Structure 1
Amino acid sequence: MSRVEPLRSAVPASTRRHPARAGRGAPDARPKRRSSQRRREAVAGFLFISPWIIGFLVFTAGSMIYSLVISFTNYNLATGSTTPAGFSNYAELFQDPKIAQSLGNTLYYAVLAVPLEVIVALGLAMVLNRAGRGSGFFRTVFYLPKMTPVVATASVFLLLLNGNTGAINQFLGFFGIHGPQWLVDPHWVIPSIVLMTLWGVSGTMVIFLAALNNVPRDLYEVASLDGAGPVRKFFTITVPMISGAIFFNVIVLTIAAFQVFDQAYLLFWRDQTNASPSSSLFYAVYLFQQAFRQFDFGFASAMAWLLFLIVMAITLIQVKLSNRFVYYEGDR
């Protein structure tokens, strides 16, 4: 008898006849339980966010679809009359000279405001990131302007930017600088609106502050051992590590810049006169005039969809370019 025979006799006959059954056993019910549990979690998640979904479908998606429909009509809100217009409203967009003018003003504002907001917000975030004791107090103080109502902020800046008695020009006068007529001179209208926008930059600052807190300190220590200075650390460590936050803020600020309305309207257009400088006519302000002063909702809806396409195109370009400049920690 060979040595293998005792071992074979110790193995059950059912296993010898069907070797595949040795490791199979009874069907496992765990995958079914997991799938049902995941299904219940998904249903619970959708129930929790259902108020947002309903609000989005009714007030955002529904409004967008309705505005797209009426953009092909001559819809007058005052009279309630609606007649088909085809593509005439969209054709008028290329014929109205104020469309090009307002788009140019808005683009100039975006090019000027977005980089300044990013630079100022990042500078404030870096200062607060280095604060020791009392950092919570300073963070609260820096964020308070964001909590101020826009109407109150506009009233304050109307006094600050007064060309004759404003505090800004009086401050410049101490250095022998003759301040401009901020609210009258067409060349200084948009810079004055940018100054008012920078007052509420603390929201962007908070995002940068959170990103700075997530930068590993070991990188700065290693760079110090290699002899790197503050400037080199900033451009080789800080900027790449927070590039995701920079990219997010640039997109959000760009979208907000193309929709700027409150600052221009409160500083120049709330008196409902045509005496305001033409350089203060932003796209959203002109859209508001067409909708709620001329009651031409068809043309205003066409303007809104043109703005939507412009913002989407610019955002897609920014997303495409971000692949070259944005670093994510999971990238290799």
Structure 2
Amino acid sequence: MTSALVREHARPTPRAPGAARPRRRGSVQRRRRASVAVMLAPTLLGLAIFFVYPLVANLYFSFTRYDLVSTPQWNGLNNYVYLFTKDPRIVTAALNTLWFVVILVPVRIVCALAVAGLLLRARRGGGIWRTIFYLPALVPPVASVVAFVFLFNPGTGPVNLVLRTLGIPGPLWFNDPALAKPSLVLLGVWVMGDVMIILLAALLNVPRDQYEAASLDGANGAQKVRYVTLPSIAPVLLFALVTGMIAALQYFTEAAVASGVASGRSGPTAGGIAADIGYPDDALLTYAQWLYVRGFANFQLGYAAAMAVVLFLVASVFVALLLRRSRAFSPEDFS
């Protein structure tokens, strides 16, 4: 009896659920948080060095008079006042950039989706056709623009030679202010392989049983596209639209090279890109080009920083609106 009582008192008292080892559990959580912080440190450090600091520095320089050589001098809001009221070419550059956003981006996405749909139906040589349509996207932008301007040269270009053979007078293409931007749209469609391959992968992931169910319900081809294909690839379409819009807002290389080659300049001049920027008649002048000229040709780094801040804000607003309206890319809104 006595030994049984001793064993009963020696038995440890059970702890309440959730109260076991509070200190040890807290130390484990701290170690986990420390491990997470150590693993995130390289990314956070890179983000701070290459994004946060340049963004803050650019915001500061936008309120200064700065030429990259002398010490920045505080200028208040003068850069922004000049940008919105006095810059003679900013409106043209902004409108041209908006044109590329509104026209170039949707055209590339629609054409890429159409080509992806055709490649999806290819029964023979599908891999070869995919390679053929994707290869132009691997060509460096400068080389592709130079080749395209040569093909559409008004006097000696193969395109106009073929048109003259058919009895059709060839247009001036990149030398015509009315056709310069549409010519760049043709170039953008030619190098749409990057968008096409993403959309093709999305189309390959659409469940086949949904098409079979739509066929059993009597849906035709257009209805299958609207009620099956588009809802399934909606997130990919949103991604292509957002990235394309951001790239169009920063449209620079293609327009600058096309202006230089079409104007007849075969090499750098004393004025650099500023010598023939926007040729012909500012038809290819984009916001990013004008920012570059102001900052690195005219050495007005403070004013260029203000332009960059405005471009960042506009891009942020556009992206926010697209993400806010992302319900338009949800399956429910296609029904």
Do residues 312 (structure 1) and 286 (structure 2) align? no
* Residue 85 of structure 1: aligned partner: 75
* Residue 111 of structure 1: aligned partner: 102
* Residue 3 of structure 1: aligned partner: none
Identify which of 56, 78, 97 aligns with 2:88: 97
**Aligned-residue offset at 1:142:** 2.4
1:1-332 to 2 correspondences below 5 Å: 36=28, 40=32, 47-48=38-39, 50-77=41-68, 79-94=69-84, 95-132=86-123, 134-173=125-164, 175-269=166-260, 272=272, 273-274=275-276, 276-277=279-280, 278-327=282-331
**Does the 8 Å CA contact 1:247/1:326 hold for their aligned counterparts?**
no
- What are structure 2's unaligned runs of at least 5 residues? 6-12, 261-267
**Does the 8 Å CA contact 2:259/2:276 hold for their aligned counterparts?**
no
Task: Report the AA paired with residue 90 of structure 1.
Answer: Y
Query: Between Structure 1 and Structure 2, whose CA radius of gyration is higher?
Result: 1
User: What CA distance in whole angstroms lies between the structure 2 residues aligned with 1:140 and 1:49?
Assistant: 38
- What are structure 1's unaligned runs of at least 5 residues? 1-12, 14-20
Task: Report the AA paired with residue 317 of structure 1.
Answer: L
Task: Report the AA paired with residue 179 of structure 1.
Answer: G
**Does the 8 Å CA contact 2:256/2:289 hold for their aligned counterparts?**
yes
Task: Report the AA paired with residue 178 of structure 2.
Answer: H
**Aligned-residue offset at 1:116:** 0.5
TM-score normalised over the length of structure 2: 0.82
- Per-residue CA deviation, residues 43-96 of structure 1 (Å, 9 max, x unaligned), is 55554554333222112221111111111100012x424211000000010121
**Aligned-residue offset at 1:204:** 1.1
Distance 1:45 1:76, change over 3 A: same
User: What CA distance in whole angstroms lies between the structure 2 residues aligned with 1:140 and 1:234?
Assistant: 25
The two structures, once aligned, show a CA RMSD in angstroms of: 3.0
Task: Report the AA paired with residue 323 of structure 1.
Answer: R
TM-score normalised over the length of structure 1: 0.83
**Does the 8 Å CA contact 2:206/2:232 hold for their aligned counterparts?**
yes
Distance 1:109 1:36, change over 3 A: same
User: What CA distance in whole angstroms lies between the structure 1 residues aligned with 2:23 and 2:190?
Assistant: 56
**Does the 8 Å CA contact 1:244/1:327 hold for their aligned counterparts?**
no
**Does the 8 Å CA contact 2:152/2:174 hold for their aligned counterparts?**
yes
SS in 1 for 2:299: coil
- Per-residue CA deviation, residues 272-310 of structure 1 (Å, 9 max, x unaligned), is 324722111100000000111001100000000111111
Distance 1:160 1:82, change over 3 A: same
Distance 1:176 1:320, change over 3 A: farther
**Does the 8 Å CA contact 1:197/1:263 hold for their aligned counterparts?**
no
